Amino acid sequence: MSDSQDSFVKTEPSLNGTDPGDLAPARRYAQIIGWGMYVPERVVTNVDLEQIVETSDEWIRSRTGIGERRIVSSPKETTASLAIRASRAALQVADVPASMLDMVICATSSPEYQFPATACLVQDALGAHRAGAYDLSAACSGFVYGLAMARGMILAGDADYVLVMGSETLSRIVDWTDRSTCILFGDGAGAVLLAASEEPGGVLSCALGSDGSGSDLLILPGGGSAIPTTLETVASRQHFVKMDGKGVFRFATRVMAEATREVAAKAGLSLAEIDVVIPHQANSRIIQSSVMRQLKIPEEKVFMNLERYGNTSTASIPIALCEAIEAGKVTPGQNLVLVGFGAGLTWGATAIKWCAPVTKQPSPWWKAARRRAGYQIASARSVWRRAARRVYAATLGPADAPTLRGRLRASIDAGRAVWEERKPDSLKPSPDDDEG
Ligand code: UT7
């Protein structure tokens, strides 16, 4: 960890230790100490979309504020691969090795698979061998939900370092023949590293909400338990996103304002004390109507970058946070509110007292080399573990034998039993043998 971030180390005495000692444990805070983003290189403009569906640059810009989006262009680019890049960038900023992570949370609406969790693939690629990992499904509110989960674990003393990411390849689940949805979405990933700290601040409060009665407003109907994949569901395009845009719009403008008010009040902040709002980047009209008009938060305090990325669902807030930091809009001591909404229906907001230094620290060359070596070792370790698992399965008996020796013994015993059963009668002991 860099010198400038020394206060964001594991607090002592640790709350999760067995011996609390005589002193009351220091109060813990969940600070964001690292951040990173990654977007695919391929840019798809509104004019490009005019070639695919009946739309226009003018319509898209005026109704949404979107000018272009990034889209994955190779099968190797997946939700996990984008998340890995964003996560590595976040760990680099924090100067924390992946081996220190206690938990990896991946919020996503376009996971690598139904299961296993995309977070597990990220955990493996990073070499976060001490970390638990899970995916979080709360659609576009997922990243804010993830921050709330991470904060909870840190304040409870169950974790010291939690990596939270939002990652999407929505281009793979969007219907490119449906002009009402395909113009909205983009691909990308953003990640933050939260750490336990004794310095007051960090993630101060969270406000999460849901209303499942609106589950049909934004849905990917096919491929789950309700509508398992069949030839018919594929033919009727049930494996693509369906949306009632107007319904989502009305809901979004209401909850964005309500959630911002609620989370500010929980943190003891007035709306005037909020320095920066980073809203879910879905539609500039939603942001204007909720955060700016209803809450009267001035435009210069509201960060928007959807013109260049479109709606990247769970990734939109962390990508916007990274760009706000890069643009010098976030500085230590400021109060931030991150607020989002999405399918479910869900919504969530979090208030943050920003504490981490945002100026880039010069990093010595050997640190970059050490990081690269760490990821290569993680990759080699993963290959080795896969190979070892295959060899064990093929040669060493039941997987529940507790030790290698136990597995060998179980394997030998099984072989003996088969031999005893099948060996020729001439080799079986006769009753006469006993008499001798
Ligand atoms: O993360 C959450 C994700 N979802 C959202 O944030 C969605 C929230 N909703 C919205 O952003 C807006 O409702 C949309 C941008 C999706 C749609 O804007 P709208 O102002 O609500 O348009 P609309 O659906 O009422 O459609 C107006 C017209 C319709 O034509 P008619 O019936 O008036 O002749 C649509 O068929 O615009 C037409 N239209 C389009 N025209 C050109 C719909 N999509 C397009 C398009 N290009 N891409």
Rg of the chain over CA atoms, in angstroms? 26
280 is catalytic: yes
Residue nearest to atom 29 of ligand 1 (CA): 180
Of 46, 283, 311, 335, catalytic:
311
At residue 362, the pLDDT reads 80
Q: What is the pLDDT of residue 13?
A: 41
Q: In Å, how far are 41, 48, 57, 114, 220 from 187, measured between CA atoms?
A: 10, 16, 19, 19, 17
Active-site residue identified among 106, 280, 322, 335: 280
Q: Give tens-digit pLDDT for 199-237.
A: 999 999 999 999 999 999 999 999 999 999 999 999 999
CA of 424 to the centre of ligand 1 (A): 79
Question: What's the chain's length in residues?
Answer: 436
- Tokens found for residue 118: 């995309």
Per-residue pLDDT at 400: 66
Q: What is the largest CA-CA distance in the chain?
A: 103
Q: Which of 106, 140, 206, 355 is catalytic?
A: 140
Instruction: Give yes or no for residue 248 having a pLDDT over 80.
Output: yes
Return the best residue to mutate from 283, 290, 312 for the ligand 1 pocket (most ligand atoms within 8 A of CB). Answer: 283
Q: pLDDT tens digits for 155-180?
A: 999 999 999 999 999 999 999 999 99
Strand residue runs (E) in 310-400: 335-342, 346-353
Q: How far apart are the CA of 213 and the centre of ligand 1, in A?
A: 22
Residue 244 CA, ligand 1 centroid: distance in Å: 9
- Model pLDDT, residue 11: 47
Query: Residues 148, 108, 49, 53: what is their CA dihedral angle, to the nearest 10 degrees?
Result: -110
| Contact residues for 434 (Cβ-Cβ < 8 A; gap 6+) | none
Q: Give the model's pLDDT for residue 391.
A: 79
How many Å apart are CA 35 and CA 194, to the nearest integer? 9
Question: In whole angstroms, how far apart are CA 127 and each of 32, 88, 248?
Answer: 21, 11, 39
Q: What is the per-residue pLDDT for 397?
A: 58
pLDDT of residue 10: 46
Q: Which residue has the tokens 């939109």?
A: 316
Categorise residue 278: left if φ over 0, alpha if ψ from -120 to 50, beta otherwise: beta
Higher pLDDT, 382 or 407: 382
User: ω before 345 within 30° of 0 (cis)?
Assistant: yes
- Separation of alpha carbons 257 and 263, rounded Å: 10
As given in the structure block, the two tokens for residue 153 are 């674990």
**Would you state the pLDDT for residue 435?**
44
**Class of the domain covering 29-353:** alpha beta
Average pLDDT, the chain: 91
Beta strand segments in 55-131, E = 68-70, 103-107
The yes-or-no verdict on residue 16 having pLDDT over 60 is no
Per-residue pLDDT at 408 exceeds 90: no
pTM of the complete model: 0.88
Q: What is the pLDDT of residue 25?
A: 67
Q: Is 140 an annotated catalytic residue?
A: yes
Q: Residue 262: pLDDT above 60?
A: yes
The pLDDT tens digits of the residues spanning 418-435 come to: 888 888 877 776 665 544
Is 129 annotated in the active site? no
Is the pLDDT at 6 greater than 80? The verdict is no
Question: Residue 14 above 70 pLDDT?
Answer: no
**Tokens 């607020």 -> residue:** 339
pLDDT 10s digits, 99-132: 999 999 999 999 999 999 999 999 999 999 999 9
Q: Where are the domains of the chain?
A: 29-353, 367-421
Of the candidates 89, 65, 66, the residue with the CA atom closest to the CA atom of residue 325: 89
Task: Give per-residue pLDDT as tens, 353-371.
Answer: 999 999 877 888 999 999 9
What is the reported pLDDT for 361?
A: 77
Which region among 37-41, 327-331, 408-412 has the lowest average model confidence (pLDDT)?
408-412
DSSP state of 270: -
The single residue listed with the structure tokens 């690629």 is 125
Instruction: Express each pLDDT in 281-314 by its tens digit.
Output: 999 999 999 999 999 999 999 999 999 999 999 9
Say whether pLDDT at 62 is over 60.
Answer: yes
Kindly indicate the confidence band of residue 15, based on its pLDDT and cuts at 50, 70 and 90. very low
pLDDT in tens, 309-337: 999 999 999 999 999 999 999 999 999 99
pLDDT of residue 18: 45
Nearest to 159 by CA among 126, 189, 134, 180: 134
The answer, yes or no, to whether any atom of ligand 1 lies below 6 A from the CB of 247, is no
